[in-house]
Amino acid sequence: MKNFLEYLAARPYPGRGLLIGLDPKGETACAYFIMGRSENSRNRVFEATEDGIRTRARDEALMTDPSLIIYHPVREMQDGTLIVTNGDQTDTLRDTLAAGGTVCSALATREFEPDEPNFTPRVSGVLFPCGQSVLSILKTRDGKTCDRFYYSYETRPGYGQFISTYEGFGDPLPSWYGEPLTVEIPEGLDVKAWAEEIWNALDENNRVSLWTRVGSDEYIINKPE
């Protein structure tokens, strides 16, 4: 069990991270954030869509390569399934699940990002209406082969699982190691207040955007220009 805010505050660069779980009342409690070091990575904001959120360039003139940074991190399916990822595998999961496939069959078609030398992992979380959740990470040991890890949980009210792309700074950046963290989700969550607590725990120099959801309420924070 980890204190989520203390965990984030102790790590200046977890990269992109997601938390999916339930608050003590059994309502959805999820968060997703992105961090950035380069101008291209920091030139982003979250924007609400009909079924979730998307990333977009803050300044189109400064965007140099949209391939790995413009995507839909969050999509909610018609049956209430919520998908949260750090890349365009959000759409792969949505389309595969809608066609009757599984999380594993969807992500078997995907692998880590081709951003040598970091080879950033793809992290994904799916929260089903029944409360079952699946988290995954696709990463590499050698820049060639892909290791796919899946973690299935019977999500309990008041708890969630967190995973991020990196362990911290390094050259190359060290990928997340081990299984997702189980964290406690406090009672009486206000979506805006919770977002501000998570935002303040993230490193001020590297944080870019944050999305939180509690029940049906959502809140977005984008780093001011």
Pairing outcome for strands 147-154 and 132-139: antiparallel
Nearest to 213 by CA among 34, 7, 45, 53: 53
pLDDT tens across 184-195, in order?
999 999 999 999
Cβ neighbours for 118, distance < 8 A, ≥ 6 positions apart: 172, 173
Backbone angles phi, psi at 89, to 5 degrees: -70, -10
Cβ-based neighbours of 92, under 8 Å, separated by 6 or more: 106, 107, 109, 110
pLDDT at res. 101: 98
CA distance 222 to 225: 9
Residue 161 has pLDDT above 80, yes or no: yes
Question: For the residues 41-45, what does the mean pLDDT come to?
Answer: 93
With bands split at pLDDT 50, 70 and 90, how would you rate the model's confidence at 67?
confident
Question: How much is the mean pLDDT over the chain?
Answer: 95
Render pLDDT for 117-136 as a digit per residue (tens, 0 to 9).
999 999 999 999 998 999 99
Q: pLDDT: is 217 or 38 the higher one?
A: 217
Distance CA 24, CA 48 (A): 26
> CA 99, CA 193: separation in Å to the nearest integer?
37
Count the Cβ atoms, other than its own, within 10 Å of residue 12: 14
> Could you count the other beta carbons within 10 Å of the beta carbon of residue 66?
14
Rg (C-alpha) for the chain, rounded Å, is 16
Residue 59's φ and ψ, nearest 5 degrees, are -130, 105
Tell which residue, 206, 203, 209, 207, has the closest CA to residue 221. 209
Please, are residues 199 and 221 in contact by the beta-carbon 8 Å criterion?
A: yes
